[in-house]
């Protein structure tokens, strides 16, 4: 917290405002009946339900403010607050008190909407994590760090940052996304500024695509309105319906749409498209006796892009996003080799404070399947599900 930002609020005031919010009768005259009379009467059950919801919502919010307040008073007892999820169906009069509370809350914390969503942009942390926790991805590490650092160093970029991650499953696309979110936002992927869409989960039925379009547009707009620097992640991008890709185009293309400025937003597309061509390039490279760390973006990116444009059966390659160069970088994730799998296993043990030996790491790495058939160089699953596999080696 910035020191100049700290403003103490009398203890009683938080409690008092919360109390006001919980007493609708105090603010709304209703034929002389108290609110619990109305709540008890079955004929006005609807009112009772609304009231219950309202109390639940207010209680959750007050708990949050209270937690923050008590953190200031008794920092030693302070844990990370849980995010309150609220149903914004409160009547107008209580909105007024909520506004007073949230204005106070936002005067001492950084807010978007009513939630805390601090943007941390910890580039040092990002750099450290990408170099220590991500294995076997020298290209992704370099390109992502450079792009993000460059993008964030400009106060008003010309357009949003759009990166497309490509590679086999388990090579670290989701892992990097998490690292990014963790270092750009205090609450990481949980932040209100971060929206993750998984094609098969969020857009499963083609016949509802019109509904998805509207929802997506609204969600992108609202998030950027609240946060400015918002992060949107589209996992399984190869399965995004074409018309949804078109829906996204204006956001990636123009600086502003309507009243909202999208230039500080970040869009990530994750897919396994082009994974085979990446693997082929790396395989040939290794067979020629060169080290994989010598592969450069110039060796890979043009072939990757050509492959994405060419593969007939995918929407992503055929979308205007790719054709009109709206994507800043195609980031290749290379296939992982035996020694990378060992590193992932080591991290998994360390992450759970468990002892390991070199022998155990070998045992874990040997459980996986390696391809191609002859060379057996690359883990078919990457580092996926390593943390489940180490369960077998627990004492």
Q: What residues make contact with ligand NAG under the rule CB under 6 A?
A: 120, 122, 124-125, 128
First to last CA, the chain: 43
Contacts of 131 (CB under 8 A, 6+ apart): 141
Picking from 295, 239, 232, 293, the residue whose alpha carbon sits closest to that of residue 265 is 232
Nearer to ligand NAG, 125 or 241 (CB): 125
Nearer to ligand NAG, 125 or 242 (CB): 125
| Least gap, CB of 131 to ligand NAG (angstroms) | 11
Nearer to ligand NAG, 19 or 145 (CB): 145
| Least gap, CB of 183 to ligand NAG (angstroms) | 6
* CA 86 to chain CA centroid, nearest Å: 20
| Least gap, CB of 269 to ligand NAG (angstroms) | 26
Nearer to ligand NAG, 1 or 306 (CB): 1
Tokens 């949107």, located at residue: 232
Is the bond preceding 44 in cis, omega lying within 30 degrees of 0? no
Q: Give the C-alpha separation, 30 to 93, whole Å.
A: 14
| Least gap, CB of 144 to ligand NAG (angstroms) | 16
Nearer to ligand NAG, 128 or 296 (CB): 128
Dihedral (C-alpha) 71, 63, 106, 78: value to the nearest 10 degrees?
A: 20
DSSP secondary structure code for residue 76 in this structure: G
Residue least distant from ligand NAG (Cβ): 125
Nearer to ligand NAG, 124 or 291 (CB): 124
CA dist list (Å): 357 to 274, 336, 362, 368: 36, 21, 9, 18
| Least gap, CB of 182 to ligand NAG (angstroms) | 8
| Least gap, CB of 304 to ligand NAG (angstroms) | 30
| Least gap, CB of 126 to ligand NAG (angstroms) | 8
Picking from 306, 297, 299, 303, the residue whose alpha carbon sits closest to that of residue 331 is 297
Assigned token pair, 115? 């939630």
Please give the helix or strand (H or E) that residue 231 lies within, else none.
Answer: strand 231-235
| Least gap, CB of 80 to ligand NAG (angstroms) | 14
Nearer to ligand NAG, 152 or 282 (CB): 152
Nearer to ligand NAG, 1 or 23 (CB): 1
| Least gap, CB of 130 to ligand NAG (angstroms) | 11
Buried b / exposed e over 313-329, threshold 16 CB at 10 Å, is ebbbbbbebbeeebbbb
* CA 393 to chain CA centroid, nearest Å: 32
DSSP secondary structure code for residue 190 in this structure: G
Length of the chain: 395
Q: What is the DSSP string of 138-185?
A: HHHHHHHHHHHHHHHHSSS-SS-EEEEEEE-TTSSHHHHHHHHHHHHB
Nearer to ligand NAG, 25 or 125 (CB): 125
């Amino acid at each position: 917290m910035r020191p100049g930002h700290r403003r103490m609020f009398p203890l009683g005031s938080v409690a008092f405002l919360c109390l006001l919010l919980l007493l609708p009768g105090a603010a709304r005259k209703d034929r002389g009946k108290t609110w619990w009379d109305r709540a008890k009467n079955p004929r006005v059950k609807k009112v009772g339900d609304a009231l219950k919801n309202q109390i639940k919502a207010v209680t959750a919010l007050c708990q949050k403010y209270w937690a923050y307040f008590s953190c200031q008073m008794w920092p030693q007892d302070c844990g990370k607050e849980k995010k309150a999820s609220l149903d914004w169906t409160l009547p107008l009069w209580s909105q007024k008190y909520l506004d007073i509370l949230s204005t106070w809350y936002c005067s001492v914390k950084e807010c978007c909407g009513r939630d805390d969503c601090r943007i941390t942009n910890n580039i040092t942390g990002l750099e450290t994590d990408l170099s220590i926790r991500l294995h076997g991805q020298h290209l992704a590490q370099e390109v992502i760090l450079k792009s993000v650092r460059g993008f964030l160093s400009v106060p008003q970029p010309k357009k949003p940052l759009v990166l497309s991650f490509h590679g086999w499953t388990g090579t670290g696309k989701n892992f990097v996304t998490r690292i990014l979110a963790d270092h750009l936002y205090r609450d990481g992927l949980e932040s209100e500024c971060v929206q993750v869409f998984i094609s098969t989960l969020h857009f499963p039925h083609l016949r509802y695509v019109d509904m998805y379009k509207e929802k997506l547009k609204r969600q992108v707009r609202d998030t950027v309105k609240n946060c400015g620097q918002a992060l949107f992640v589209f996992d399984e991008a190869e399965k995004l319906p074409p018309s949804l890709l078109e829906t996204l185009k204006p956001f990636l293309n123009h600086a502003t749409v309507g009243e909202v400025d999208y230039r500080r937003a970040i869009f990530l597309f994750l897919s396994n498209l082009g994974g085979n061509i990446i693997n082929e390039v790396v395989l040939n490279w290794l067979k020629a006796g060169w080290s994989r760390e010598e592969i450069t973006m110039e060796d890979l990116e043009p072939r990757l892009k050509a492959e994405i444009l060419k593969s007939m059966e995918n929407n992503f390659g055929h979308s205007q996003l790719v054709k009109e160069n709206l994507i800043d970088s195609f980031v290749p994730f290379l296939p992982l080799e035996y020694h990378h799998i060992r590193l992932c296993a080591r991290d998994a043990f360390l992450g759970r404070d468990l002892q390991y030996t070199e022998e155990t790491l070998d045992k874990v790495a040997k459980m996986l399947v390696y391809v191609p058939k002859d060379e057996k160089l690359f883990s078919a699953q990457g580092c996926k599900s390593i943390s489940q596999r180490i369960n077998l080696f627990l004492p």
